[in-house]
Structure 1
């Protein structure tokens, strides 16, 4: 159990906009069916790139949720954040139109992105190059900057509590959840909207990762390209979308009769201090983050039932994370269930941690472990139980969610079935 000296933090709402589902129920159903969100890119002509596919958000019309004029003044990453956070607030039963002045001051937002409005930035640089500075949009800066996503959420819902953005590459979504939980623990807010958002399916972004040789180039079968832990994996699949969770002080949630999905009981963070993009080959930083998470949760390794791995489908990353798990969990590493939901969603970069936190919370809710799809060929260095190809029913009382980022950022969040 968490220390009695800090407020308990629970999850009361979920929102997701992903390549395999534009809301939480559809997202969960698609995971249970083992669906892949990867397909040839439709947003631009990818013929100049080696990687010509991605996990795009599908059938999305922002004007169903956002005023048309306002939507034109937002990059897609902000649109995604507004949609996911709106679903999470509704799911939590929070009608922001009826909040009192005090409640508005006690409700905040921590929402992050790895690269922010890169689509806007790319388009405006091209406009500048062709026509000069007078043709730049006056909305360039507020469309591009990372912190505008939590700003939009705050403005739309009148939330005046703590408000900022996190950015730690692919650990961003987890860091947002950690920051929001700590804000509630310290008594600075009662309710926080936390999550991550990304709209990186943009030519310059794909091109950059492509030239790093970080992306899969399985153009002939994109739906099978994201294959974490498979011996023939050849890189990650770029994805986009957003995930949002409503975190709440336990007493506040109980007083308003909120449903409780799970409790945030611990988290860990570390730095590799090793390389700008490659993980530490022995998983040293990842192991330290997981150990810290278990310590703050006052749990032993044997208490963990499920771990949603970072598992990007890169040759180095999957092995390093596997090594880290063996370091932390010992023999129990072979007893608990693991999976990488990136096999289905692709890699949502700054939104990955938030979307995968939702998958971990739903694993607790449904006592079901999502699968790692596309497995065909064993890798002798990846020899744990990754829940290949099919979901598995089992008791999930404690779930961990890992997220790691370029620069050596490592994060781990611990969710536990709520006990009054």
Structure 2
């Protein structure tokens, strides 16, 4: 299966080229916004999606981001030779959904809205708008697996294609949830950091890391068997759950390792063939420890390591989608991108922008609730 089209809306702006230019710059997408912190008394660093998109879609940034990312991906795939099959499925990877408007529904409007405004809050609405606009009539559903949701949606798309449930699949992963209310709780858990800039706070595989900066995004992919100029091949993947704790990783990492082993088998890839680890790289100490152990024990510290969350922010349900978009664009342009190294770092961590991207990539994504996922990506 291949990814034949990409669409992206991120903290860097609207469109995949805005994401690419942002990644190349080595500068975080985050900006200072008022009202963050435990007492809501200061400005905080978050990578929010700026206003933009098609105003005819209505006032919702969330709805516009979903629809515009899919439009861009479909147009891109069409230009690359994709022709939709009879059955095109739609998968939407989400966790928290339309957070800003849901908050307004309860806090500002006290549960009373016009029907058309209320309908924007339902998870079924963005999918319905996609199927109506493009005339897709295949299976359509939401996928949620915490911060591994985008990986989970791509693995589900692979299953649909393999079983003939769909001829093609549009996968969109969206998270616009950087409200002060939401971020506050992740700060209290010691996971999110808003009081310093992202390169200071979020240092995956580097000394002094404190946690992640929050990001927002909607990324979309056209997944198919048939296209003239696809970006990359998705070779296989796997998912698992620790069954251990709602936020903490199982300390032996047994289930993360097993997930990666099964992904390698599914993709028919040997560990020594993996050239790059595109890490979950959240910047939390427990994720750093787990992925460092994975590198050492399963791959003998051979792959180069990339971590871009210091640049894009941690986009929750969309995080793996943003990172896979970067991998795909990098394959096409022969570039490997990671955040700049600012402290003592793992020996295999990539520092900024370097030539590369012509080998197999392991993309890991770890989510709260014990969700583990891994996909193998490679040049077509």
Note if 1:337 corresponds to 2:304.
Answer: yes
- Aligned twin of 1:193: 170
Note if 1:352 corresponds to 2:314.
Answer: no
- Aligned twin of 1:150: 127
Give the superposed CA RMSD: 2.3
Partners of 2:8 and 2:14 within 8 A in 1: yes
> For the residues of structure 1 that align with 2:97 and 2:13, how far apart are their CA atoms?
22
How far is the alpha carbon of 1:373 from its aligned partner? 2.4
How far is the alpha carbon of 1:245 from its aligned partner? 0.9
- Aligned twin of 1:122: 103
- Evaluate the alpha carbon distance shift between residue 32 and residue 210 of structure 1 in structure 2; reply closer, same or farther with a 3 A threshold: same
- What CA deviation, in whole Å up to 9, does each residue of 1:82-121 have, x standing for no partner? 11111111111169xxx8xxx5741121111110011111
- Evaluate the alpha carbon distance shift between residue 359 and residue 282 of structure 1 in structure 2; reply closer, same or farther with a 3 A threshold: farther
Residues paired across the two proteins, number: 377
Match for residue 238 of structure 2 among 251, 268, 280: 268
Partners of 1:283 and 1:320 within 8 A in 2: yes
- What CA deviation, in whole Å up to 9, does each residue of 1:266-319 have, x standing for no partner? 101111111101222343322222111110111101111112100011122111
Match for residue 234 of structure 1 among 210, 223, 229: 210
- Structure label with greater radius of gyration: 1
- Aligned twin of 1:322: 292
Tell me the secondary structure at the aligned position of residue 202 of structure 2. coil
- Evaluate the alpha carbon distance shift between residue 280 and residue 368 of structure 1 in structure 2; reply closer, same or farther with a 3 A threshold: farther
- Aligned twin of 1:6: none
- Evaluate the alpha carbon distance shift between residue 86 and residue 272 of structure 1 in structure 2; reply closer, same or farther with a 3 A threshold: same
Which structure shows the bigger proportion of residues in strand conformation? 2
Unaligned runs of at least 5 residues, structure 1? 1-8
Partners of 1:284 and 1:324 within 8 A in 2: no
Match for residue 369 of structure 1 among 336, 339, 344: 336
Partners of 1:11 and 1:262 within 8 A in 2: yes
How far is the alpha carbon of 1:141 from its aligned partner? 4.6
- Aligned twin of 1:57: 49
> For the residues of structure 2 that align with 1:405 and 1:140, how far apart are their CA atoms?
31
Partners of 1:77 and 1:241 within 8 A in 2: no
Match for residue 32 of structure 2 among 40, 49, 54: 40
- Evaluate the alpha carbon distance shift between residue 160 and residue 402 of structure 1 in structure 2; reply closer, same or farther with a 3 A threshold: same
Runs of 4+ aligned residues of structure 1 deviating over 6 Å after TM superposition are none
> For the residues of structure 2 that align with 1:395 and 1:144, how far apart are their CA atoms?
39
- Aligned twin of 1:91: 76
Note if 1:304 corresponds to 2:274.
Answer: yes
How far is the alpha carbon of 1:384 from its aligned partner? 4.5
> For the residues of structure 1 that align with 2:341 and 2:114, how far apart are their CA atoms?
43
- Evaluate the alpha carbon distance shift between residue 195 and residue 328 of structure 1 in structure 2; reply closer, same or farther with a 3 A threshold: farther
> For the residues of structure 1 that align with 2:86 and 2:141, how far apart are their CA atoms?
14
- What CA deviation, in whole Å up to 9, does each residue of 1:113-133 have, x standing for no partner? 11001111111111355xxx5
Partners of 1:169 and 1:350 within 8 A in 2: yes
How far is the alpha carbon of 1:231 from its aligned partner? 1.8
- Evaluate the alpha carbon distance shift between residue 148 and residue 386 of structure 1 in structure 2; reply closer, same or farther with a 3 A threshold: farther
TM-score normalised over the length of structure 1: 0.83
- What CA deviation, in whole Å up to 9, does each residue of 1:9-36 have, x standing for no partner? 1111111111134222232232122121
- Aligned twin of 1:386: 349
Mapping 1:160-239, distance limit 5 Å: 160-219=137-196, 221-222=197-198, 224-239=200-215
- What CA deviation, in whole Å up to 9, does each residue of 1:203-240 have, x standing for no partner? 22112212222111433x35543322222111111110
Note if 1:27 corresponds to 2:19.
Answer: yes
> For the residues of structure 2 that align with 1:355 and 1:391, how far apart are their CA atoms?
17
Unaligned runs of at least 5 residues, structure 2? none
